[in-house]
Structure 1
């Protein structure tokens, strides 16, 4: 039999077994669920054993969880019962298990349910990837295909949901970003340098009945030379790895370049593969060299300035912290091998003058064209957005992710960039529904000593207020134009109206771009 007949059987069996996120949490409880997120399986194993003893049998979902999530061998008869239409034989044909005729079968892959909420609503899939360290019991192999981790969840949450014709996922891995992109793009092209990754990604797409993704083999933009896309997404292999003998080079995280050159290559190559108005979103690392600020390096990557850019640095690590993070990520535990790799990382950073490493999000855009010329082509507008900021602690409450917020901020930026002060003064604005104001008073005083505007969603920003800005924001209920509000404030504060407008309008523009005002 082929996957054409086997995959539908697998899909039917997984659904019938209620092999889902809430289904598994119901089996082993929230404490075991939390332990699994910490890469500890004992609480889940104990919970499933207690359940089996109580029921006198193994539930189908429990069998599948033991096999594919916890990495335990299970009796062939139990797997046949859990997958009644596919069976252990069919699972072996799909490459999911090793069934060599013995009484037990062993997992060859990680297969787990995945649920999410985005701008299009709630969704759930089953995702196949390679077995992780928990199931293997030893460090990962260099060709390991990663499942859904923290970075992939971060990027999918950042993904702007704007409807587009064509999207590109660079370094697709198990295919999760391409699958998310398929919800807002008519066609998705997904690329990777790993044949194994492309095979598993294709299986995931087939298993979840997604039919608008095309997979291509190759590095970065090589598989799409001459093509342009409306949305490019990438969780690239950005991890900075020493080019030294004996240091593992994991395909899922290491692009084979020195330092942060891979992220630089994506940034520099993006403009040639975007349609006017097209957006690139990716995660990345960047290095701080000697006394040079990393943002100076990022500015050079963006030269000659063809792209709008919004880059957010969320974390900065010392060389030691960075080395520890990624050595442990590969499954190497403290000991002689860990120490050897640690020295290799520190030697590399020292030799290249790297004193810190930043991590964050990059959003790049090719500006949309102006009105078409006589020849029918629209000239590209000059970039208007160049925003490099550090937000280590800012994060609001965003159940469906930050993607919709980013899209709204871009739209607000474009509107205010095209709006002169005269028109802005005539515009009626409204305070966003998630915004609150905090005031502090000295005891016994009627006037506040400190006023702050807080954003509940988005990046959870806070903005200090003075009396005039607080008064303006408080009056933005959609009934009066900005100019009328400033005029009233000028009378109330006995201030010069033009001078007050000159002071407040730049602040109003900033509040619009950050989503405080709409």
Structure 2
């Protein structure tokens, strides 16, 4: 068990890291871009080789806590003048083996940026597979992984009074939420994870984060929050002997029941206007769509926006997570675990496993107005949070307008939208017209000439109604019929961010 972190020692460690220039940019410069990109893939030797014989504090701490290599006691002591090697031992960050200081954890810089600016935290977590030289222990506390980064990109920047980080792990989501609210409750079933969360809060001088031990919503019974974020242990894992159950990724329930519990249970913990965002996996069973199954989990009192990014077949899913646990392909253990996963899926008739994002909101007043369950495969690595926030605001505003009100609205095409027209050789009129979104989820929509003309004319000058009338006259069609056809599609373009209100 990681020792309870001592605030004085954490401040001393922070001083030493700061003095060493222990930042992501400095480490990347020290060992080069290629080696830096290889470290998250478990390839440590290129970075170690690039450091050569350097014994400065940055190189020593980089070897010790970024790469997970032992260093000699003299170099460690020089790199930690305030904390000292004994202090690092007391914090549970290192051990001593003769004249060598051996890493017990990883401590890596983690940049983050939002509307309030950019920060870089130092995040402590358990040693990874490369540093351990084998599979992870089941109580492993993960650092900042790909799923955590994805959830960070999704986070709305709306502020509030309180927030809940459900299944906090190393505490990275709690740190991010703390920038939006004055008080965060971070929960986990792992006391080890909660100690890492407290360590990371102290190390980065962040207050207002309260940790509580317990499963799912048990530690916050009867409480509500303005913001909820959860990167839950959503990996679907066979509940049979011989299959490792990693606390950081496996919820301990059959199939996708853990994700169902999070989605269904959060309604009782959302304040009016409160928003919950989480990641998840869901099963497709005997032809029953995973998105339809999520719809059954969502409390009907909430707005819901569920985005499915991909669907894996059972074999691909099994291979992904068996490799993630450190079991090497081609070994008997690998084949045995794959069989266990496939047997588990077969028992429930699972034909596919979806992965995606869940956004739930308690309306301030009245009935829910949003129920989107969709598959969106596009989008890059940009921050989706501001895009989602703008879409929700557009949805709220458009929802207050009847057709007459929408016809009176003045809209503007979003600056990231482009149009592509495809012509058959020799034909003057395009056979396909597409609207393409450069930001957000990178949507591509095929539209007809009437809608394309409307979007092209939305420059913040004329209202939608007069534009539709002009297009009807140009196309020689009935204006009322065109309006009835085009207004619902205009609403969709507003919600998905292709069009926006001029005063937004």
Distance 1:502 1:403 in 2: 32
- How many angstroms does 1:37 deviate by? 2.5
Equivalent of residue 33 in structure 1, options 36, 40, 43: 36
- How many angstroms does 1:210 deviate by? 0.9
Q: Which residue of structure 2 lines up, in the alignment, with residue 352 of structure 1? A: 348
- How many angstroms does 1:445 deviate by? 4.8
1:80 aligns with 2:77: yes
- How many angstroms does 1:402 deviate by? 0.6
- How many angstroms does 1:443 deviate by? 4.6
- How many angstroms does 1:2 deviate by? 7.4
Deviation per CA, 1:204-259: give whole Å up to 9, x if none.
Answer: 01111111211111111000000001111100111111111111111111121111
Q: Which residue of structure 2 lines up, in the alignment, with residue 199 of structure 1? A: 195
Distance 1:149 1:396 in 2: 17
- How many angstroms does 1:117 deviate by? 2.5
Indicate how the Cα distance of structure 1 residues 319 and 445 shifts in structure 2: closer, same or farther if over 3 A, else same. closer
Contact 2:5 2:198 in 1 (8 A): no
2:391 is paired with a residue whose SS is helix
Distance 1:119 1:330 in 2: 36
TM-score of the pair, normalised by structure 1: 0.93
1:312 aligns with 2:307: yes
Q: Which residue of structure 2 lines up, in the alignment, with residue 374 of structure 1? A: none
Q: In angstroms, what is the RMSD of aligned CA positions?
A: 1.5
Q: Which residue of structure 2 lines up, in the alignment, with residue 509 of structure 1? A: 491
2:421 is paired with a residue whose SS is strand
- How many angstroms does 1:350 deviate by? 1.3
Distance 1:440 1:266 in 2: 45
Q: How does 1:290-439 map to 2 (within 5 A)?
A: 290-302=286-298, 305-334=300-329, 335-369=331-365, 381-392=366-377, 394-396=378-380, 398=382, 401-439=383-421
Contact 1:97 1:106 in 2 (8 A): yes
Distance 1:283 1:202 in 2: 23
Distance 2:66 2:459 in 1: 52
Q: Which residue of structure 2 lines up, in the alignment, with residue 487 of structure 1? A: 469
1:286 is paired with a residue whose SS is strand
Q: Which residue of structure 1 lines up, in the alignment, with residue 228 of structure 2? A: 232
Q: Which residue of structure 1 lines up, in the alignment, with residue 435 of structure 2? A: 453
- How many angstroms does 1:71 deviate by? 1.4
Distance 1:170 1:327 in 2: 25
Equivalent of residue 272 in structure 1, options 260, 268, 274: 268
Deviation per CA, 1:297-338: give whole Å up to 9, x if none.
Answer: 1122125x2221111111111111111111111111131222
2:460 is paired with a residue whose SS is strand
TM-score of the pair, normalised by structure 2: 0.96
Indicate how the Cα distance of structure 1 residues 265 and 511 shifts in structure 2: closer, same or farther if over 3 A, else same. same
Q: Which residue of structure 1 lines up, in the alignment, with residue 62 of structure 2? A: 65
Distance 1:446 1:15 in 2: 65
- How many angstroms does 1:4 deviate by? 2.3
Distance 1:277 1:4 in 2: 36
Return 5+ residue gaps in structure 1 as ranges: 370-380
Q: Which residue of structure 2 lines up, in the alignment, with residue 106 of structure 1? A: 102
Q: How does 1:42-53 map to 2 (within 5 A)?
A: 42-49=45-52, 52=53
Q: Which residue of structure 2 lines up, in the alignment, with residue 372 of structure 1? A: none
2:85 is paired with a residue whose SS is helix
- How many angstroms does 1:186 deviate by? 2.0
Q: Which residue of structure 1 lines up, in the alignment, with residue 13 of structure 2? A: 10
Return 5+ residue gaps in structure 2 as ranges: none
Q: Which residue of structure 2 lines up, in the alignment, with residue 373 of structure 1? A: none
Distance 1:255 1:293 in 2: 22
Distance 1:512 1:462 in 2: 14
Distance 2:332 2:145 in 1: 27
Equivalent of residue 19 in structure 1, options 15, 18, 22: 22
Contact 2:105 2:126 in 1 (8 A): yes
- How many angstroms does 1:397 deviate by? 6.1
Indicate how the Cα distance of structure 1 residues 10 and 332 shifts in structure 2: closer, same or farther if over 3 A, else same. same
